[in-house]
Structure 1
């Protein structure tokens, strides 16, 4: 039996080990994606060329953008960077995720080209020398269509994140960012795209990275734990409805106020992404890391909802901004800024928000721990245990700890109640919650939260008895 058990465990370990991506597989996917790129892009161009008239859209100030012939070099370089990006991946899962991101950008962009084709409206000056030859080569398969969203920019955003993940060294990374920035600017200075194509293309690239996030060094995704729950599904529908309403506003604004249409579209996309997170019940989909930071593309993609969450937290707690003590060195309250944390003398922070970055995480004098949970949704037992363990660790180090969520009324209350139950040996979840409410009149909880807390208490009792 022991031999069978050993063999079984070995098989399980082998099955769970990430499979390697062979050179042939990487080359094959490069060839396949190249075929997809040229066929779909060319098809959209062909359809636009068959139309009697294709509109153009440009802001008046765009006439001041200079034509810089040599920037065709960084413009073309994205093709080489695209091809090389397939050979970074040693694991199949990583390679397939990369393909999914590129395919997402390709399909969304081409669908937009077909649904509402636009053409470039300026006459490009002649260019000589090497730049002229590169422009001639480009015009061999490219046409003045396929404008918004810029496929070039969408792919650039994805590749930028990939190369930044793999490149090491401050000087190398600085050179990388400068070159990728030059590629982004080149779509305007080569007279390939109008300004509206750039933010729309960047949004598509950010969306692809949101839907198919980069894995960590161990091959894990940031949204490993998913809990679909009726409360999260209800909130998902609310966010989705809000996204639809704002999207309608954006479409109404297009003819008269295109700038505001872009802003409204940005807000609608951010709301739709949050709706997707709640529908999945996956706080990890916000991609907040252990130091409370969001990836750059998430900060840009979700900037409207991040700002909205912060403003909402301040409006609800405007009259009572101070944390509430539940123990000599433990408080609960709203997520603080660095200035607030320093003013209150905090030395430890357990951050339960998933929807906002840790504003104080960069403060070296403050020990920070992130345990992200969805707002207004009961956490899983594992998420609750993660939060309590972080609080217990920081408290054990002798720190003055704040357990915070957006308002300090819900998620932090459940965590504090669990910690009090652990400390005081309470066996009933409601007793622990009432103990918190005795010092914090705004404490709220749901029946689902009570059930999770009771299960957590019962499990710890059972483990202690065992």
Structure 2
């Protein structure tokens, strides 16, 4: 644990200006509070379920083939120790409070579900002897066969897995970490504590907590904090929310006939709901796509349905015009590329404007990559446009043959290209810059808002030059 703690201090030791330190007493205090919350709320939900005349159970037929493995109670119990130790990673108070919020979100959402629709474990667990038997006896002292879906164990596991993976840097130690956390996840089934349906629902709650309160970077910045909601983004947020509601209703309708399809539909509804939240706040960084174009593993899991939908949509709309178009000798615009597309056209640089999809390239070393995420169908802010143009200019000056991409290559990339052409050709009118792009890309689209932000960018740049 010394290496883990040292890595934690090294990773978060450079506190942002003005950030307050989380004292040891504060960490112990929050651990005590969260311990009390855990036992009180979990015990209350158990008590309510036990007073019901009957509590239903649900299990897939194939679950009878899952073996009872007594020794897996050891990794099952180990999450309690990992839970307690997790409070002592944080140097900054904001990091500690975010961690508390994540754990509290998992706890409260799970307990509300336990109260609203309690389920019980339906199999008779065999007796276990030795140390394993003693651990099962201890567990049954406060745990009851109720409160199944979502699995609180799995929800907490997801959050703790992300936290420990963030702080542990040694490659060999990370392998051990992932193997042990995998064993904890499997143990909820092999100890006959949970049915299979509890696992994906618990994972969904954990992913939701990581989305609502994302892990901060080394400077204390949260990817979900900085944004600018607009009327345009709020309209799109409502549309995504309605879509999420419709898919959630579909999930409920599927429950009597096919629980498997209900889980798939519920997964899609959760992803759409999170996208709606991102648009409502106007925060492209809330997708948590990093500088290399990757999503954190649990965000990739959370957004998998919407990522697949966005990719398929990009291919459908560009089916007849898949090829990028050149706006300059070494600059092109186009749809988000795969590795095959980059190799085919020979690009050595990529400015990626998508926030909703990860980069699709496998050979990352062969291409100079910059992520400048913007929300689809939303006019970017001045700073977002400036970030994209600056990245484009830097790669161009380095001699790369580069592609500016968005989902289709018709919107966000058009605005970025128009700004760059205005800078290169000294164009003073935003509409002239857009017209220059449409001359080579007839499918280019823009709004009056795009014209306004580009004109403001041109005028500010001209003012700086005059000064």
How high is the TM-score relative to the length of structure 1? 0.96
Partner deviation per Cα, 1:318-341 (whole Å, 9 max, x = no partner): 000000110000000000000110
TM-aligned CA distance change 1:426 to 1:283, over 3 Å: same
Are the counterparts in 1 of residues 16 and 219 from structure 2 also a CA contact under 8 Å?
Answer: no
Partner deviation per Cα, 1:119-151 (whole Å, 9 max, x = no partner): 000000000000000000000000000100000
- Residue 161 of structure 1 corresponds to which residue in structure 2? 162
Query: Aligned pairs, how many?
Result: 453
- The offset of 1:363, in angstroms, is 2.2
Written as runs of structure 1 = structure 2, the 5 A alignment for 1:76-95 is 76-95=77-96
Are the counterparts in 1 of residues 148 and 198 from structure 2 also a CA contact under 8 Å?
Answer: yes
- The offset of 1:168, in angstroms, is 1.5
Indicate the SS of the match to 2:333.
strand
Indicate the SS of the match to 1:352.
strand
TM-aligned CA distance change 1:54 to 1:371, over 3 Å: same
Indicate the SS of the match to 1:445.
coil
TM-aligned CA distance change 1:366 to 1:15, over 3 Å: closer
- Residue 243 of structure 1 corresponds to which residue in structure 2? 244
**Partners of 2:44 and 2:361 in 1: how far apart?**
50
Are the counterparts in 1 of residues 16 and 220 from structure 2 also a CA contact under 8 Å?
Answer: no
Partner deviation per Cα, 1:291-330 (whole Å, 9 max, x = no partner): 0000000100000000000000000000000001100000
Partner deviation per Cα, 1:11-67 (whole Å, 9 max, x = no partner): xxx994211000000000000000000000000000000000000000000000000
Written as runs of structure 1 = structure 2, the 5 A alignment for 1:324-335 is 324-335=325-336
1:265 aligns to 2:278 (yes or no):
no
**Partners of 2:433 and 2:136 in 1: how far apart?**
71
- Residue 40 of structure 1 corresponds to which residue in structure 2? 41
- Residue 124 of structure 1 corresponds to which residue in structure 2? 125
Written as runs of structure 1 = structure 2, the 5 A alignment for 1:205-354 is 205-354=206-355
**Partners of 2:243 and 2:263 in 1: how far apart?**
16
- Residue 195 of structure 2 corresponds to which residue in structure 1? 194
- Residue 438 of structure 1 corresponds to which residue in structure 2? 439
- Residue 101 of structure 1 corresponds to which residue in structure 2? 102
**Partners of 1:342 and 1:302 in 2: how far apart?**
27
**Partners of 1:361 and 1:395 in 2: how far apart?**
23
**Partners of 1:362 and 1:284 in 2: how far apart?**
24
- The offset of 1:225, in angstroms, is 2.7
- The offset of 1:359, in angstroms, is 1.1
RMSD: 1.0
- Residue 447 of structure 1 corresponds to which residue in structure 2? 448
**Partners of 2:226 and 2:455 in 1: how far apart?**
20
**Partners of 1:89 and 1:385 in 2: how far apart?**
34
- Residue 24 of structure 1 corresponds to which residue in structure 2? 25
**Partners of 1:205 and 1:224 in 2: how far apart?**
20
Partner deviation per Cα, 1:402-436 (whole Å, 9 max, x = no partner): 00000000000000000000001111111100111
**Partners of 2:16 and 2:317 in 1: how far apart?**
49
1:459 aligns to 2:460 (yes or no):
yes
- Residue 385 of structure 1 corresponds to which residue in structure 2? 386
Are the counterparts in 1 of residues 45 and 147 from structure 2 also a CA contact under 8 Å?
Answer: yes
- Residue 66 of structure 1 corresponds to which residue in structure 2? 67
- The offset of 1:224, in angstroms, is 4.3
- Residue 174 of structure 2 corresponds to which residue in structure 1? 173
- The offset of 1:360, in angstroms, is 2.2
**Structure 1 unaligned blocks of 5 or more:** 1-13
Indicate the SS of the match to 1:434.
helix
How high is the TM-score relative to the length of structure 2? 0.96
**Partners of 2:364 and 2:45 in 1: how far apart?**
50
1:374 aligns to 2:375 (yes or no):
yes
**Partners of 2:460 and 2:347 in 1: how far apart?**
32
**Partners of 1:431 and 1:272 in 2: how far apart?**
39
Most deviating of 223-232 and 455-464? 223-232
**Partners of 2:428 and 2:142 in 1: how far apart?**
72
- The offset of 1:365, in angstroms, is 1.1
- The offset of 1:362, in angstroms, is 4.3
Are the counterparts in 2 of residues 330 and 401 from structure 1 also a CA contact under 8 Å?
Answer: yes
**Partners of 2:140 and 2:290 in 1: how far apart?**
44
TM-aligned CA distance change 1:117 to 1:334, over 3 Å: same
**Partners of 1:175 and 1:462 in 2: how far apart?**
57
The ranges of structure 1 where at least 4 consecutive aligned residues each deviate by more than 6 angstroms after the TM superposition are none
**Partners of 1:89 and 1:113 in 2: how far apart?**
31
- The offset of 1:164, in angstroms, is 0.3
**Partners of 2:170 and 2:17 in 1: how far apart?**
32
**Partners of 1:395 and 1:438 in 2: how far apart?**
21
- The offset of 1:358, in angstroms, is 1.1
**Structure 2 unaligned blocks of 5 or more:** 1-14
